[in-house]
Structure 1
Amino acid sequence: MPTSTSTSTSTSTSTALLRLRRQLLSTAYGNMDFRYQLLASLADRALAELDRHSSPEAEELADSHLRPEYIGITEGRALSEAGSLGIDTSGWEERRERIRSYTRGADAVTPDGTPADSAQRLWASLFDNYPSVAAALADLLTGLPPSWRMDLFQTNDLTQVPAEPRQQGDNGPETAPYSSTDWEDCAACMEANDLCRFHSGFLAGEQHLRGLLATLATDSIALEQLQDRNHEIGQRQARESAEKSPERETSQ
């Protein structure tokens, strides 16, 4: 029966399906990039759904994806697959080149990059997103006197300037505008080569909220405290509303 076939295929340790799902689930669990986590999780769910409907087809698909010639999607194949789905790719090449010219090597800048690397990325971001600020900064820097190194840092060798302590996971100040509605095309994330500060904070808040919801679902005392607090707030708002209503009638 299909159910028994699916079970035996999924539990076998030598199947391509299990190896591919292991890679996807590992990425969904441990990758530091939220976008890769999400994509890996979605791909694993799709494979699991296919396995429930047709185990042989799921195994064949997983085996084809693990072949060396398949790994690493090419530009031509990406355009071909998108075209076969009826997706308009006329702007894809321009967008790709814009991103490449925008980053100017930002993908090679690690959190432990040199000050020169960070300065290059910072200038590129200002130039692309805030040209007036970039122009003002250039005027400011070119207007400094020849003695600026000694005046500001008491040394003519900038390598002797103490580096600021870097927080773990901090890729430096991104200047690109944040895209609060689009995680995939957020220019600040591209600049930081990671989640930008806005999306890092949004994700941290989301995780904190999940923790609170999990606590409320499992801790009856916490739920009672929350209900009592909401009741207090409701009573206070009712009193404030009652106190303001006579004033409104008088003014009218």
Structure 2
Amino acid sequence: ARFQSAMFDKDTFTVSYDANRGEQRGPRSRKLAHEDLAKKGLGECIDCNLCVQVCPTGIDIRNGLQYECINCGACVDACNGVMEKMDYPKGLISFTSEHELAGGTTHIVRPKLVGYLVVLLVMCGLLVADIVTRVPLEVDIIRDRNSLYRENMNGDIENVYTLKVLNKSQTEHTYTIKVEGLAEYEYIGEQVVTVGGGEVYSLPVSVATDPYNLSDRVTEIYFNVSTTEADGTVVEVSEPSKFIYR
């Protein structure tokens, strides 16, 4: 509804009543010639109320544009039938624009319409690009909040993480997990996991290394999760994290 209101202007075609032709309303004899209506102070509307009777929402289109109108055109057909019987020109109620009712012309191509069309095409293009380039895999790595690091029995520095693997496809996939960023390290946890279509698999993992391999207090590392599709395409996601010491 908001989009329709944004698109609406004086060039929009709607079911409209031509008050300049129709007023004043009132019954009259069929014998009264069309050219004699003005002498009697009458318009072309004979006030038969047939347009109201056939309207599925029960509105009187002669009262102007109303939000209840669904532009079905039932009143247009009913009024044209009456105009034909009275030997009056059709179109007292018709699909037209405010500009035409005022005696002007309707502009089909207008800046607002072109602008919204461009925006719509850009949005559709972005949606298609997102679908085409969509990676059917999402990886999230969460550090252990209880401790920055710990020293294990071998004297190595160990960081603990929770790795979450989201399979965005509809089929089951097997994923391989690797760590990059440290020259020498020990990966503690599952290295190969199988995740069903649309499911999330969470697993605790640890990375340990000799403190002499660390030159900085914080080292950026990457958890690489990869799988091979049925057509041979390799899908890989690399999620960064921190290895902290001291």
- What is the TM-score with the length of structure 2 in the denominator? 0.21
User: More strand per residue: 1 or 2?
Assistant: 2
User: More helix per residue: 1 or 2?
Assistant: 1
Larger radius of gyration: 2
Name which structure has the greater RCO, CA cutoff 8 Å, separation 6+: 2
